[in-house]
Amino acid sequence: MSINRFLEYITHEKKYSHHTCAAYQKNLTDFRDFCTEHYELKEIEQVDYPLIRAWIISLIEKKNTNRTVNRKISVLRSYYKFLLRTETIKISPLKLHRPLKASKKLNVPFSPEEVNRLLSGDLFPHDYLGILQKTIITLLYYTGIRRQELIDLKCTAVDFETNSIKVLGKRNKERIIPLLLGARDRLIEYLNYKKELSAPNTFYFFCMPSGLKVSEGFVYETVNHYFSIVSTKVKKSPHMLRHSFATHLLNNGADLNSVKELLGHESIAATQVYTHSSLKRIQEIYSKAHPRGKKD
């Protein structure tokens, strides 16, 4: 089946993350189920654009946003590009498709005051679970690493001699991130608690009291719960800490290319999405520094 071949391709050759591959599989399966239910098609290699358009309409009717629909169609586009490359089809049914108009989503990062209020306050329990949760939030904010990168962080990847961590990012690309003293001290404190566990995980750095490595859900709930105490922001997720990390660096004069390397982005365009939050700060600096700005 071509879907299985495509999934093997993005898993083994493109080195997409497990999370991404699972999302691709679900999107393709959902589309195939739609074709089977409404058009009695069990395979989706030879579909035409009117059928895809019918699926788009059904997605909109189910209250999916244009952004969500575009993301699902992007998966289909990648799938049909693969079929073209393997000469399974001659023309992509999405050749003439144009993405739906979607308003730009503005995610407001946490403020430095909100982060400081959480990490400097006495909001975490003084036990292993509390230290684990505080360390997770600390590392996410101090380094800007992704949730999955934190979950997969190995014990051997943390080097206290060089004060750095080795992160395995998307498509198995490694990068080295320096550790500031605040993060380093928090990691050491966490390890002292971890040693007291009856079965500490010696392979993965972060683990539950049972010894199992932390899950995606646990990391998300940790960030969401504690930031709900100090922030009224709508979105409170691990990615928002990554967003805050990049924005705060840029606001304080960090070079865009340096932030790009820290985040593990392949292109500068991916990092520039965070610059909109820095615009107000840039305008303030600009108005104070420009000769005419001082007079105006």
Task: Please enumerate in sequence order all residues whose Cβ is within 8 A of that of 92, keeping only pairs 6 or more positions apart, or say none.
Answer: 77, 80, 81, 83, 84
The closest alpha carbon to 247, from 111, 105, 138, belongs to: 111
pLDDT digits (tens, 9 = 90+) for 239-279: 999 999 998 998 888 888 888 889 988 887 777 777 665 55
Residue 158 has pLDDT above 90, yes or no: yes
Start-end of H helices in the chain: 2-8, 18-39, 49-61, 66-85, 112-120, 128-143, 147-151, 181-194, 216-230, 238-251, 256-263, 268-271, 279-289, 291-295
State whether 24 and 64 are in the same domain.
yes
Q: Which helix (H) or strand (E) holds 293?
A: helix 291-295
State whether 65 and 133 are in the same domain.
no
Model pLDDT, residue 294: 53
28: CATH = 1.10.150
Residue 160 has pLDDT above 70, yes or no: yes
Asked if residue 145 lies in contact with residue 101, where contact means CB atoms within 8 angstroms, the answer is no
| 45, part of any domain | yes
State whether 161 and 75 are in the same domain.
no
Residue 90 has pLDDT above 80, yes or no: yes
If you search the block for the tokens 């999934």, which residue do you land on?
A: 7
State whether 149 and 223 are in the same domain.
yes
For the chain, give the percent of residues with pLDDT over 70: 92
Residue 264, judged by CB atoms within 10 A of its CB (0-12, 13-18, 19+), counts as buried
State whether 138 and 73 are in the same domain.
no
Start-end of H helices in 145-237: 147-151, 181-194, 216-230
Q: Please identify every residue annotated as catalytic.
A: 146, 170, 239, 242, 265, 274
pLDDT digits (tens, 9 = 90+) for 56-85: 999 999 999 999 999 999 999 999 999 999
If you search the block for the tokens 């799938």, which residue do you land on?
A: 79
Q: Which of 27, 50, 85 is the last residue of a domain?
A: 85
Model pLDDT, residue 88: 93
Average pLDDT over residues 99-126: 89
- Whole-prediction pTM value? 0.71
Question: What is the band of 43 on the pLDDT scale with cuts at 50, 70, 90?
Answer: confident
| 264, part of any domain | no
| 116, part of any domain | yes
| 276, part of any domain | no
Asked if residue 78 lies in contact with residue 92, where contact means CB atoms within 8 angstroms, the answer is no
State whether 125 and 64 are in the same domain.
no
| 296, part of any domain | no
What angle do the packed helices 181-194 and 128-143 form, to 10 degrees? 150
Q: Look at the alpha carbons of 87, 16, 105, 51 in this order and tell me if their dihedral is positive or negative.
A: positive
State whether 159 and 73 are in the same domain.
no
| Residues pairing with 175 in the sheet | 167
Distance CA 209, CA 128 (A): 7
Q: Which of 195, 217, 239 is the last residue of a domain?
A: 239
Model pLDDT, residue 106: 67
State whether 124 and 161 are in the same domain.
yes
State whether 122 and 219 are in the same domain.
yes
Q: Which of 190, 221, 239 is the last residue of a domain?
A: 239
Query: 192 to each of 80, 100, 128, how far by Cα in Å?
Result: 51, 52, 10
Residue scoring higher pLDDT (41 or 1): 41
> What 8-state DSSP symbol labels residue 101?
P
Asked if residue 187 lies in contact with residue 139, where contact means CB atoms within 8 angstroms, the answer is yes
State whether 125 and 234 are in the same domain.
yes
| Residues pairing with 168 in the sheet | 174
What residue numbers bound the domain in which 55 lies?
Answer: 2-85
The closest alpha carbon to 263, from 245, 287, 284, 283, belongs to: 245
3 state DSSP class of 167:
strand
| 235, part of any domain | yes
Asked if residue 37 lies in contact with residue 25, where contact means CB atoms within 8 angstroms, the answer is no
| 220, part of any domain | yes
Task: Please enumerate in sequence order all residues whose Cβ is within 8 A of that of 169, keeping only pairs 6 or more positions apart, or say none.
Answer: 146, 149, 175, 264
220: CATH = 1.10.443.10
State whether 116 and 234 are in the same domain.
yes
Average pLDDT over residues 88-109: 86
In terms of residues, how long is the chain?
296
Q: Which helix (H) or strand (E) holds 161?
A: none
| 132, part of any domain | yes
State whether 77 and 118 are in the same domain.
no
Model pLDDT, residue 112: 94
Domain count, the chain: 2
> What 8-state DSSP symbol labels residue 177?
E
Average pLDDT over residues 22-47: 93
